[in-house]
Amino acid sequence: MDPLPSLLSLLLLFLAFPLFPSSASSQQLEPVLDAEGNSLLTGTKYYVVSVIGGAGGGGVTIGRPLTGICPMAVIQENIDVWYGYP
């Protein structure tokens, strides 16, 4: 079997790939907004909390999950007023 056709096909594939950008790279990404509708800023600390007060959970923190499978995980605080880590 002659490897030349396979080699040419592979070469054409690599040459054509940059000509057809993926849809993800050509889409305009929407910014992530804070509770007031402002774009999040790089290098700024934010707390992730529920927007529903009294919903029974606070912010996110690092802790041990109830299953015990993972040694540490990102979990939600049990009390609304505990904001967890930024």
Q: Which residue has the higher pLDDT, 83 or 38?
A: 38
Q: What is the predicted pLDDT for the residue at 43? A: 93
Phi, psi of 48 (to 5 degrees): -100, 110
pLDDT tens by residue, 22-80: 555 567 788 988 888 999 999 999 888 877 777 777 888 888 877 777 788 888 888 88
Compute the half-sphere exposure of residue 85: CA atoms within 13 Å on the CB side of its CA. Answer: 6
pLDDT of residue 6 exceeding 70? no
Helix (H, G, I), strand (E, B) or coil at 38: coil
Structure tokens at 27: 């889409």
pLDDT value at position 41? 93
Residue 10 has pLDDT above 80, yes or no: no
pTM of the model: 0.52
